[in-house]
Structure 1
Amino acid sequence: METVWSVVQAQVERTPGAVAARAARTYTYRDVSALAGDLGDRIAAKVRPGSLVALDASSRFSGAVGILAAIAAGCAVLPLDRQSPAARRARVLDDARPALLLRELAEAEFALEESGLPSPPGQSDLGGIAYVLYTSGSTGQPKGVMVGHEALVDRLAGLAEQPGLAADESVLAMAALSFDISLAELLLPLTVGASFTAVPEETRADPLAFAELVAAAAPDVVQATPSFWRMLTASGWTGAPGARLWTGGESLTPSLARELLPRCSELWNVYGPTEATIWATAARIVSAERISLGEPLAGVGVLIDDTGELLLHGTGLAHGYLNREQLTAERFPQRDTPDGRRRVYRTGDLVRRGPDGALEFLGRLDSQVKLRGHRIELGEVEAVLEEHPDVSQAVVLLQDADRPEIAALVAFVVQRTEADLQGWLEDRLPTSHRPARITALPELPRTTAGKVDRIALAAGLAVGGQAVPVAAAPAPGDVRALVAEAWRQTLALESVDEDANFFDAGGNSALLAVLQKRLSDGLGVRVPIKEIFRNPTAAGLVDHILRTKVPN
């Protein structure tokens, strides 16, 4: 059975001394092979082939070594989300029951910890599985998507063809390991003789530092979500003329495409759910007036059923969901397919064929949403809210879905007390899944059929991000007034509570970049985004600026 490890090993034999990765130091293909091979031997000495191995790492290079090592040992790997609260990580580990945990000590150095957890009843040998990734689940329990070796190898080969990556080219690697797009950044280069540059987390969070890294590294391919590109352009990034930009994970808008096209050599819109292995379709965008999902990648087949739902088939389909046979049967039904495999994945996405035959995204059939690149089942957020003993019912909606730069989750609850629900969610959901606002109602509106009237709730939402009349500019030396004005304009507020948390007041990653640029222009100081994270109130940020006064 061919695996990504065997494909990388073949490349090592061809170009052992070529640069494979740039991280804390530069690593050759020979280095990667030795590090992953040695770690694979350590894994094999502790667990049997077919076991599930959890990977807990922050360094992208460590992630690549850990993934390759687990596969080399004949195991499936489960990259953990380091941003998830402890309670959610515990749910994932309890559901997956990995036999071993790889815990990063330093770059490419790991401690191996046996979990001591027995496999759940019915969990079969995972020898044919390359990796397991957990995605949001509508019942409140995240679900593990199992992707096989054939799917991963074939998908990487397809991506090498289109959008394309050649030997001696380079990729910027910045996606979290818990997102399957990280595999395109880390493993695709190693299968074709290319290299990747690992982006430190603190650099990724600071648009100005990230722009400096792009300029210095001069990568051929940079992949990110539309939300990230929006944050970068809002910070004043002038672009990377020699780079091909891939964008996916949420809808690419014409306005963002107009911003990106002059800033790169090529712009590609890519689409694909985790269940179809990284990306399934791609379209080169040459005009902001024509945005589509494009055509299937090599090995991918598409069908559109009578409801308009997109069905995917081919070599890239996942095996299903870990320990969830019924859900697997529902989402991966048997259908007649041109390739004769008689198995499809129901994406839940509504699409149509455009005039040129390219696929066009129209919306969702269910309550799943995409917010700043994160796939979120609204039902999961509702279920966690309803676990609170004082909440009898909860409804979560995506506000301003057609305006990605200000889109946010909002919740409506019926609760018996004024309990701190945000604190409850902080312990149980990642930041991406937490509502920006929770509104308590005596009861939820109902339709004539007795169901919760989500349309009525949505109609009652105040439209966020509307322009607020701009007051006279404060005196340049008045730091407190300048910060308050930047805060007010960015969040479209009538007034600013200096002690309110930026994110609790409606802020998000895209607006963070807008705030940073307003502060830089108005104050003449550079305030790194990480410092806004550390000082998320206007009062705290003023104190930080007055203490540091870093020149712009």
Structure 2
Amino acid sequence: MQTVWSAVQAQAERTPGAVAARAERIYSYRDIAALVAGLGERIARRVRPGSLVALDAAGRLSGAVGILAANAAGCAVLPLDRQSPPARTARVLADARPALLLRELAEGEFAFEQDGLPGPPRRQDLGEIAYVLYTSGSTGQPKGVMVGHRALADRLAGLAELPGLAAGESVLAMTALSFDISLAELLLPLTVGASFTAVPEETRADPFAFAELVAAAAPDVIQATPSFWRMLTASGWSGAPGTRLWTGGEPLTPGLARGLLPAGSELWNLYGPTEATIWVTAARITSAERITLGEPLAGVGLRIDDSGELLLYGTGLAHGYLDREELTAERFPVGGSSEGRVYRTGDRVRRGADGALEFLGRLDSQVKLRGHRIELGEVEAVLEEHPDVSQAVVLVQDADRPELAALVAFVVRRDGAALQGWLAERLPPSHRPARITELPELPRTTAGKVDRVGLAATLAAGGQDSGPAAVPAAGDVRALVAEAWRRTLAADPADGDVNFFDAGGNSALLAVLQKQLSDGLGVRVAIRDIFRNPTVAGLADHIIRSKVPR
């Protein structure tokens, strides 16, 4: 069976001393092969081939080693989302029922856990499966996407051709393991004789530290979501000459493309759902006037049905959803005679005059916010699990402005129960509404359905700026900061000690807050300072100490 591990082994035999990874130290291909083989043998002594192995790792080096080692032992791997609260992780583990949990202790070192896992290990043989990734589920239960070895190997081979990666080049690895894009950063380099540089989480979160790392590492490729690129360019990053910039995970806007085109040697827009293995199309963007999805990668077949939905087929399709036979049959139906199975993406597209694909939006309630795939139904279901909530509707506010877009919820409840704490225990930060509005009842259409259009219109009206707010007294710095906070998050900072990120802030909104402070309120403050002082009180104290007028 063709596997990525066999390709990495072959590369290690050809160039054993070549640099494979840069993390806490430099690792050669010989080093990586030895770590994977050793860990794979330890896994094989504990579980049978075809088992599912969960992986809890923060480090990129440990992630690569853990994934390859599980595959080397003949097992499928389930990378866990470290941003998920314990309750959601427990639900994923209970659904997946892995036979073993690898928990990272230090770089390249793991503990083995078996007895404490929920439920008996599954008996289903997953020998053909390379990995399982859980994505948001519209019913409230995340669903596991099963991707096979051939699909992964074929997709990485296609990416090596377009957008392209060659032996001796380097890639930054900074995406969380629970996103399949991380596999392009970690495994693609190892299959072609290139290398990856692991980016620590604290460096990724600080645009200034990240810029310093880029200058020192001089990578050939940097891949990130548009939200990350937006934060980086807003911080004043001047670019990396000679570096190819890849972006995917959410739509690329003309405004962002305009800022990125001069920042690197090439700009590539990549598109693909988890169910079709990482990315399926690539477009080199040479002008911000027209953003397309480009053309399919090698091995990808596609067509557009009468409703405008994009259908995918080829060797890169996932096997389906773990233990979700009905959902698998619905989303992976049999297509035409030359197609075999197809995957219904739910994305509306069209072909431009030159034949390139153009993205038009979704056909369902799935959304992408800052690279995170979110089923609004999942958030609604978790809200309605609360004993005092009878109904909930979740929408996206400012969907046409990616830097401001946020989830908002409308709920009908019987008392003033604190719902943000309830959500924090059950959903990752990316899935939590920035604002929850209580209504006596939800508006209905004449057909008796919830009037989502009416609620969206309410959001639009409420989001309109009636003009500049009255500027607080010049000496009241805390009031200045609170007003900037209110405008950025569309919520009042009732408690000056609430963390900006806990209140719905994110990396993209940092740039918005910075602009509010600098342009609208007469105070200059760096994004780095907001990271380090993420509360109204803390940021105000920092500004007072710094005494930095605009």
Shorter-chain TM-score above 0.5: yes
What is the CA distance between 1:545 and its match in structure 2? 5.8
1:451 to 445, 449, 452: 449
1:14 matched to which residue of 2? Answer: 14
Provide the C-alpha distance between the structure 2 equivalents of 1:289 and 1:365, rounded to a whole number of angstroms. Answer: 25
Structure 2 residue 190 is matched with structure 1 residue 151: no
Q: Is the 8 A contact 1:520 1:526 kept in 2?
A: no
**Is 1:270–1:293's contact at 8 Å kept on the other side of the alignment?**
yes
Letter of the structure 2 residue corresponding to residue 244 of structure 1: R
Q: Could you tell me how far apart the structure 2 residues matched to 1:527 and 1:303 are?
A: 44
Quote the residue 2:277 is aligned against. 277
- Residues 468 and 355 (structure 1), Cα distance of their counterparts in 2 relative to 1, 3 Å cut: same
Provide the TM-score with structure 2 as the length reference.
0.93
Q: SS state of the match for residue 45, structure 2?
A: helix
Equivalent-residue separation in structure 2 for 1:492 and 1:423 (angstroms) = 19
Gaps in structure 1 of 5+ consecutive residues: none
8 Å contact kept, 2:309–2:349: yes
Q: Relative to 1, partners in 2 of residues 1:491 and 1:468: Cα closer, same or farther, differing over 3 Å?
A: farther
Q: Which amino acid aligns with 1:162?
A: L
Distance 1:487 1:400 in 2: 17
CA distance in 2, matches of 1:328, 1:303: 19
Alignment partners' CA distance in 1, 2:180 and 2:488: 32
The answer for the alignment partner of 1:358 in structure 2 is 356
The match for 1:394 is 392
Partner residue, 2:164: 164
Distance 1:112 1:146 in 2: 23
Give the superposition deviation at 1:525.
Answer: 6.6
CA drift of 1:361 comes to 0.8
Contact 2:432/2:504 (<8 A) preserved:
no
Residue in structure 2 matched with residue 31 of structure 1 by the alignment: 31
Q: Which moved more, 1:213-222 or 1:488-497?
A: 488-497
| 1:228 alignment counterpart | 228
| Structure 2 unaligned blocks of 5 or more | none
| Contact 2:435 2:491 (C-alpha < 8 Å) held by counterparts | no
Other-structure match for 1:440: 438
2:407 paired residue among 406, 409, 413: 409
The answer (yes or no) to whether the contact 1:205–1:529 under 8 Å persists in 2 is no
Instruction: Evaluate the alpha carbon distance shift between residue 493 and residue 275 of structure 1 in structure 2; reply closer, same or farther with a 3 A threshold.
Output: closer
Name the counterpart of 2:468.
469
- Partner of 2:354, secondary structure, is coil
What is the percentage of aligned positions where both structures have the same residue? 80
- Could you tell me how far apart the structure 2 residues matched to 1:504 and 1:65 are? 33
Partner of 2:315: 315
After superposition, the CA RMSD in angstroms is 2.5
For residues 477-522 of structure 1, the C-alpha deviation after alignment (integer angstroms, 9 at most, x for no partner) is 9864664565466457899974554346553220113435776897
> Does residue 209 of structure 1 match 2:209?
yes
| Cα pair 2:510 2:527 within 8 Å, conserved | no
| Distance 1:258-1:269 versus aligned 2 partners, 3 A rule | same
Q: Would you say the 8 A contact 1:519–1:527 is kept in 2?
A: no
Distance 1:142 1:377, change over 3 A: same
1:132-147 to structure 2, matched below 5 A, reads 132-147=132-147
Give me the whole-angstrom Cα distance separating, in 2, the residues matched to 1:454 and 1:328: 28
SS at match of 1:460: helix
Aligned mates of 1:92, 1:150 — CA distance in 2:
25
Give yes or no for contact 1:205–1:530 (8 Å, CA) kept in 2: no
Q: What SS does the aligned partner of 2:453 have?
A: helix
Alignment of 1:233-248 (within 5 A): 233-248=233-248
CA 1:99–1:495: 2 relative to 1, 3 Å: closer
How far has the Cα of 1:273 moved from its partner?
0.4
Secondary structure in 1 aligned to 2:538? helix
Tell me the CA shift for residue 347 of structure 1.
0.3
C-alpha contact 1:250 1:372 (8 A) present in aligned 2: yes
Aligned residues: 545
Give the AA of the match of 2:334: Q
8 Å contact kept, 1:527–1:545? no
Q: Deviations over 1:133-170 (max 9, x none)?
A: 00000000000000000000000000000010001110
Q: 1:140 to 1:61 in 2, by over 3 A?
A: same
Rounded to whole Å, the distance in 2 between the matches of 1:146 and 1:493 is 40
Match of 1:106 in 2: 106
Q: Secondary structure at the match of 1:286?
A: coil
TM-score, normalised with respect to structure 1: 0.93
Check whether the contact 1:396–1:411 (CA below 8 A) recurs between aligned residues: yes
Q: CA deviation at 1:447?
A: 1.1
Which residue identity is paired with 2:65?
A: V
1:413 to partner: Cα distance = 0.7
Write out per-residue CA displacement over residues 328-374 of structure 1, whole angstroms, 9 at most, x where no aligned residue. 11110011153x5x100000011111111011111111110001100
